[in-house]
Copies of this chain bind each other. A is one copy, B any other.
Amino acid sequence: MSYLKNITSPTLLLNEQICRKNIESMAAKAHRQGKELVPHFKTAQSHKVGEWTKEYGIRQITVSSIKMAEYFCNNGWENIHIAFPFNPLEVHKLNALAASQSISVQLINEAVTETLATNLSSTVGFFIEIDAGYGRTGVEVSDFGLIESILRIANKSDKLQFKGFYIHPGHTYYTEDKHKIYDESISALSMLKTKYSTEYPNLKTRVGDTPGCAAVDDFGDVDQIGPGNFVFYDMMQVNLGSCKIDEVAVALAVPVVDIKKDKKEILIHGGGVHLAKDVLLEPDGSKNFGEIVFLDENGWVIPLQRSYVKSISQEHGLIKASDELLSKVKVGDLLGILPIHSCMTADCMKRYMSLDGNWVDHTESGTSNLYDKI
């Protein structure tokens, strides 16, 4: 029986075949370049997807919170890196995790380094996060005073072990020239590696975000790449040129509840609590909260004529519908929506349905329903 028969309300579909291809392709790219791929699991947040990545050689992973680290702990990962400036209120939770799992964190200031140097009871690695111009977080690349102060404080503790430098060049999402941003990030990491490798011969450098890792072919002497979104991709990545539309691995299945042919509008049960509210702008300035696809037994098919979600509220979505869509769809059917930002949609939906009708886990739903039948 088709997986579609079981769906009566908004459900996030995961196409394993596409997802595996995305993982395989990024792993092959890293391998060709002699880099280690350390994927960011904030996107899938899933043990099941994690198991797939292991088949393509992944041994270490990145997460963005201690809660997510707890979820992946003691599942065979050589190391779990928490790529977020460490929150000093969670030092006790960190100690609990680090007692049985190799963990690393990210440091960007003296205060938190001091807290860890004083309070760690288990060994924890750390990267210093460098801000290579994105401006969200990190030590400025030329601020050697702060870098050395962090290293000096960390050296007081035998529990805190320096692992290297990390850059998240998130401005690739907003800038045309991803190659220029990567050249700057790679140069910055290379300079830091040269400067500190005598004292720390094993230090690693890591750069990573999906638009950059998808576009760039030469990562210089960087040791590790750490993209996240590439396992699923989404319409934002299609828009940025990171992938093609048929490489998007997730689609939100939504029920059609009303059709207004004269207004070329289709109303669906699917809103901000399902898709999140990330948005792209169409060339005419209108908003796009997700791209419509047709669902079938094997997943989904891209329509010949484009339709998209033009407005959303908490539970409602209103589609600007093509003639093709209007001619094929009736009330009570299911449509698919390729999300604008798959990480956020997955976090809203909390689990996935595979195309064979099984549930796939997500941090937010916990492990209890892993592989459950509907």
Q: Please determine whether A343 and B331 come into contact, CB atoms closer than 8 angstroms.
A: no
Stretch at the interface among A85-93, A151-159, A198-206, A234-242: A85-93
Check A85/B267 contact, CB under 8 A, given A42-B314, A65-B9.
yes
Interface string of A74-88 (1 = CB under 8 A from B): 000000000011111
Query: In the complex, A259 Cα to B109 Cα: how many Å?
Result: 9
Among B84, B137, B258, the residue within 8 A (CB) of A109 is B258
Q: Indicate whether A272 reaches chain B with its CB closer than 8 angstroms.
A: yes
Give the chain B neighbours of A267 by CB distance below 8 A. Answer: 85, 136-137
Stretch at the interface among A51-59, A211-219, A273-281: A273-281
Closest Cβ of chain B to A272, distance in Å, is 6
Among B9, B93, B136, the residue within 8 A (CB) of A89 is B9
Closest Cβ of chain B to A213, distance in Å, is 17
Q: Please determine whether A64 and B314 come into contact, CB atoms closer than 8 angstroms.
A: yes
Query: In the complex, A344 Cα to B7 Cα: how many Å?
Result: 24
Which residues of chain A from 282 to 318 have a CB within 8 Å of any chain B CB? 311, 313-316, 318
Give the chain B neighbours of A348 by CB distance below 8 A. Answer: 348
Give the chain B neighbours of A311 by CB distance below 8 A. Answer: 136
Name the CB-closest residue of B to A312.
B136
Closest Cβ of chain B to A142, distance in Å, is 14
9 nearest A-B pairs in the assembled complex, by CB-CB distance: A8-B89, A111-B331, A85-B257, A88-B332, A277-B277, A64-B315, A87-B255, A273-B347, A89-B255
Q: Chain A: residues with CB nearer than 8 A to chain B?
A: 7-9, 42, 64-67, 84-90, 92-93, 108-109, 111-112, 115, 136-137, 170, 255, 257-259, 267, 269, 272-273, 276-278, 311, 313-316, 318, 330-332, 334, 343-344, 347-348
